[in-house]
Structure formats: C-alpha cells, structure tokens
Chains A and B, each alone.
Chain A
C-alpha cells in the first residue's frame, strides 16, 4: 500500500531563517506531488506541483521554492522566512496520468514564524 510521510510535524522559526520541509511517498512510482499551504481557518492554497523528477510548477510567486531530487521525494524550502509564511503545509500525491481527482495528503507541517 502507498504511504506518504511528511516532516517535521511542527516547527517554530525566526524571521529570516531558512526552511526545509520534506515529503516522501512509498509504494508507488512516478506520482504527481503537490505542496499546499493552509492559513488558519482558510482554504488550501496550491504552492507547487511536480509531475516528475526535476519538474516543478510554481503557482504563487513568493519566497518559497520546491525541488524534487528523487521520484518520490518533494522538498519545500525557503532561504529567508517571512512572518506571512506561517501556516499549515501539506504535501499530497496522486497517481500520475490518472484522471481521478483523488489526492492523498500527508499529516502536515505546522510552521510558526516569529
């Protein structure tokens, strides 16, 4: 069966510090991978998605970046965090080349920037 792991689960970072959130998927190959952000009490904002190694599409211009160094690994990074980067970050995957709208989410990483 497929599983998705996301870490760290929570972190508190000062403004201007770097960020690295990691997501890995097991039990499948060539998944489509996604990073979403959710502000408190709000909807899910798509940040990045990837259909393959090294292929990243950015949805929102900001100080975040994403990388996919391996087929089942997706990393969200920032060189210098802003207060507005606080939120709940969710990684998700779905089968590549699938018409289904079924995303499976990781447990999330809750980031607080102080």
Chain B
C-alpha cells in the first residue's frame, strides 16, 4: 500500500529546535516534499528531497533516508509565526500528503 505517517501534534518553545518526522510506505518513490499550512490558509511549499541527505533553506532543513523510508523537517530558532500544520508528501504520478503535524510554538 501507500501511506505516510507523521505525528499529529508537536509543541515547542520559541527559540528552540523541533524535528517533525515522516515515514512512508510506497512501491515507488520520487522524492519527499514538505508543506506548511497556517490555520485557514492554503499550503505552501517548503522543501523537497529527491536524494538522501540534508537540504537547508534558511531556518528550515529537510532530511531524507530512502533506505529507511524516512524523512524529517527540522525547524530552528522557532518563532511564534512557525505555529502551523506541516505536511510531508511524496509523488507517485500525483502528490500524496500525510495527515499533517500541528506545531504549536509557545512563548
């Protein structure tokens, strides 16, 4: 079958580092993406890993291990505005999303 699993919610404090994990199961794999969605808004693209390793974009980094069918999104220097839902997604013809992780950043 095809599926993605990620924690439903994570809480962290301002200035901290948080990691959101994503494990996937699929018979074909073409890279892992991460999207951010603020409450009531549309998802926006954050990062994409086609190959194993770490991709860094400012305070956000994303990691992929294809042998472990695992990836994570790392958010550093957390800010209140980072409170949002984060989705991992993979492409198999079309983009399939996980159920999302709700991140709450506390002062």
Given contacts A100-B48, A108-B42, contact A59 B99 (CB under 8 A): no
**CB-based contact B87/A43 at 8 Å:** yes
Are A101 and B44 closer than 8 Å at their CB atoms? no
The reply to whether B97 and A104 form a contact with Cβ atoms under 8 Å apart is no
| B43 in contact with A90 (CB, 8 Å) | yes
Q: Is the interface of A mostly helix, strand, loop or mixed?
A: loop
A19 within 8 A of B: no
Chain A binder among B11-19, B75-83, B88-96:
B88-96
A-B contact count (CB 8 A): 54
Contact of A99 among B30, B44, B45, B87 (CB under 8 A): B30
Please report which residues of chain B, range 57-107, place their CB below 8 angstroms from some CB of chain A when the two chains form the complex: 87, 89-91, 94-100, 102
Q: Does A46 contact B (CB under 8 A)?
A: yes
Contact indicator A105/B43 (Cβ below 8 Å) = yes
Question: What number of A residues sit within 8 Å (CB to CB) of B?
Answer: 22
CA–CA, A41 to B87, complex, Å? 12
- Known A-B contacts A102-B48, A106-B42; the reply to A43 vs B95 at CB < 8 A is no
Contact A101 B89 (CB under 8 A): yes
Chain A residues in 8 Å Cβ range of B7: none
Report which of B50, B96, B100 forms a contact with A46, defined as CB distance below 8 A: B96
Q: A42-B100, A46-B96 given as contacts; is B42 within 8 A of A101 (CB)?
A: no
Chain B residue nearest in CB terms to A102: B45
Query: Whole-angstrom distance between the alpha carbons of A14 and B58 in the complex?
Result: 46
The answer on a CB contact under 8 Å between B94 and A49 is: yes
